Structure 1
Amino acid sequence: MKTAVAVFAARTAEVMHWPTLDASLKPRASVNRDTLLAIGRELYDMLHEARRAIWLIDRCATEIAEFEQMHAKDLRARHRDKLAIVAMKASGLKRKSRAGCSPGRQAGHRGRGLGSDAPDA
C-alpha cells in the first residue's frame, strides 16, 4: 500500500502547481478580482486534469488510512487554508497569527473553522 500512496503523492506534486495562489500568499502581494479569477482557473485546470485520481482517492480514503491522511491533510486542508488566506487578503481582513486557529476562526466566524457544517448562531 505504501507504494500506491507514494505513486499518488508523486503525481500530486506534479499536478498541484498554483503559481498565482502561491504568489498571492507573499506578504506584499495584492489580491484583486483578476488574481482571484486566475486562481479559479488554476484550480479548475488542476481539478480537470486530475479528476480521475481525485475520484479514486476520495473513494479509497474511507477504507485506506494512508489515502485518508493524504486526502484530508495533504490535499484538501493545505489548499483550503491557502485559499482562505487569499480570500481574507482580498476582503481586506488581516490574518492573525494564532497557533491552533483555523483561518475561519481568525476571520471571526464564531469559533467555527472553514468547512464546518455547524449552523450559524
Structure 2
Amino acid sequence: MKKTEICLHCNDDYTPTRRGVQKFCSKSCKSRYWYLKQNYTKEVAIDTIENKVVNSIAKVDKMSLAGVGNAAAGAAVVEVVKTVFTAQDNKPATKKDIQELKTLITGRYLPVNNAAKDAFGRSPFYDVETGNVVFR
C-alpha cells in the first residue's frame, strides 16, 4: 500500500515515487518553492477554497538615503572632472563671453591681429564705418 504525502508548495496530495526524499508533487512545485524562498518580497494571495498559491512574487527595489547620496556625489564628481579636464577653447560660451563679443562687434574699431604695429608702435584697427585700417 502506497502512502500519500502533502506537497510543501501547493498542499496537494501526491504519491511519492522516491521513498522518503520526495517533498514536492512535481519539479515545477519544487523550483517554485525554492524561488519563493529566496530574498524576494512575497505578494502571495491564497485561494481559500483549495488553499493554493494563486499569485506569486514581485521584486521590489528599495530607495535608501545612502543610495541617493552616492548618486549625487557621483554626479558632482563627474561635473568637476569634466570642467577640470576640458580645455578653455572647448568650453561652452557663457553670458559674459557673448556680451564681450557684442561690445567688440558693436564698437566702431575692430582690432586687426594679423598686421604688425606701425613705426610709432600703434596697433592696427579696422574702422567699421569707413572700411579702412586705422592705427591707434
TM-score (norm: length of structure 2): 0.20
Higher helix share: 1
Larger Rg: 2
TM-score (norm: length of structure 1): 0.22
